[in-house]
Amino acid sequence: MLLTIDIGNTKIKCAVFEQNTLLEKFVFATEDALKNFKKILKKFENIQFSISSSVGKLDKECLEYINTQSKLIIVSHELNFPFKNLYSTPKTLGVDRMVLAAGASILYPNSNCLIIDAGTCVTYDFIDKRNNYLGGAISPGIRLRYEVLHNYTAKLPLLEKEEVNHFIGNSTNESIHSGIINGLTHEIEGFISQYFHKYQHLTIILTGGDADFLAKRLKSTIFANSNFLLESLNLLFNYVQTKK
């Protein structure tokens, strides 16, 4: 069994895999990490390996505990990835983006793939059909957009995301919702359109915490999978094991 761990900016997501089958998924706050990992590793005593991708921070005690219970691989730029990285500053490329690119390259070989991760930030990552990672884009996610409007203005309230069925907001709250939700939807559709214009045969994967919320708003044909990073960690682990 394998434990895959995604350490994000605000939460930790992890999943237990048996081969390519996801047995169970867990989501918890960083401050609750140690007690949750103890519960997971006690429940699944057959976990032999673990693999972790991090854009946030996890304390040393927690990492050491995981490593005592399983053989832990921490994803870094030195790991063997299944694509050619053509990013001009490869050492600054987030390992989470590299993991997503790895998953796409393994699942969809010889394909142009655009991976959109809608979390704290929205990241766009592109791999061409020759298995070259070319780069992408980064923009604020839904929650960040609400917080920025509130924190950098004098009177705009801090709202929670909600479904929007209008584009003309007839109140301040409706205007904020329209600007953020419709604005991000148009942004994503715009990026997709640009990629389709240059790469006609394109596989699009939408993942991240807001993937399901956004998927139903997009007109483009996409594969929406909120677990894609965890699944990509599993695929990357198997790939690395075959290259030893």
Q: Which residues are catalytic?
A: 96
How many Å apart are CA 175 and CA 184, to the nearest integer?
Answer: 14
Order of strands across the sheet with 2-7? Answer: 21-29, 11-18, 2-7, 49-54, 71-74
Q: Is 27 helix (H, G, I), strand (E, B) or coil?
A: strand
- DSSP class of residue 201? S
Secondary structure (DSSP) of 129-165: TTSEEEEEEEEE-HHHHHHHHHHTSSS----------
CB atoms within 10 A of CB 21: 8
> 69-86: b or e for each residue (b if 16 or more CB lie within 10 Å)?
bbebbbbeeebebbbebe
155 phi and psi angles, rounded to 5 deg: -130, -5
Measured distance CA(242)–CA(244) in Å, rounded: 6
